[in-house]
Amino acid sequence: MKLKIIEYSQVKDVTEDGLTYTDKEGNDHSINFEEIYKKYLEPRITRDAYSDFQKHNPTRIESFEQFVERQKRRRVIAQRNVLGEQSGEIPGGLPWVKFHTEPTLVIRFANHHEYDRLLGQLRVNRWHTVDLT
């Protein structure tokens, strides 16, 4: 998996539609949250995904349709780790958010204030991340 790692200070704007940032060469880039969400969601709303879910959650009773609707409501676009633990591919020590893009965009944060600010901007726009802490 190819990673593009940037610092939060490179993020220019976060809106309901997406995020824009400037790379180290000064070029602007953007990611579209709806596109990321669709890519993430597609393999998670199949009959196989439903079977796997049932196997690992035998006490949760829900139909396939309920399962799909719950997955859709989550609006997941990234993974996060507030502790900045090393994942083997992301240097440790700093909190990070890893978006489901190609290549994978990772935003590292100098402090928890920056981390909380980005997560707040995502939540206000009804986008979610999965906690890997």
pTM metric for this prediction: 0.86
- CB contact at 8 A, 126 and 17: no
Q: How confident is the model at residue 133 (pLDDT cuts 50, 70, 90)?
A: confident
Cis before 103? omega within 30: yes
Task: List 106's β-bridge partners, or say none.
Answer: 5, 98
Q: What is the mean pLDDT of residues 25-42?
A: 96
pLDDT of residue 78: 96
The least confident of 49-53, 81-85, 113-117 is 81-85
Q: How many helices (H) and strands (E) does the chain have?
A: 4, 8
User: In 3-state terms, what secondary structure has residue 74?
Assistant: helix
